[in-house]
Structure 1
């Protein structure tokens, strides 16, 4: 099975790459080849879920906050009387 965009071999071929000795070493005064990136590493991400709070959980949290505040207000009224 082949990938539609295969990445090139990151290891240079000493026979075709200028500046490399037969064993793959670099002669004195030569700059080694640049490190290759890995654009094909990992699966392609196609689903990015949205960020932020959903409406239902946020509404439930606000409802609980309002109920607790009402409970404290009722307790304050009972104690004050």
Structure 2
């Protein structure tokens, strides 16, 4: 099986200026498919704020029980 490159040679493409190619009606330098910017919420979520104290309490309880039994 032979491989043939399907991409055209950029030097042979006519009628297309790659530096100014854009969708009509789109300002230069803007991506037409991009939506509004995503701003993630700041700070910690509720999960870590609950999980960290629970884990600390479990470790403290285990240490206390271990110290009393040994």
Structure 2 length normalisation: TM-score? Answer: 0.49
Greater share of helix residues, 1 or 2? 2
Q: Which has the higher contact order (CA 8 A, sep 6+)?
A: 1
Structure 1 length normalisation: TM-score? Answer: 0.43
Question: Which entry has the higher C-alpha Rg, 1 or 2?
Answer: 1
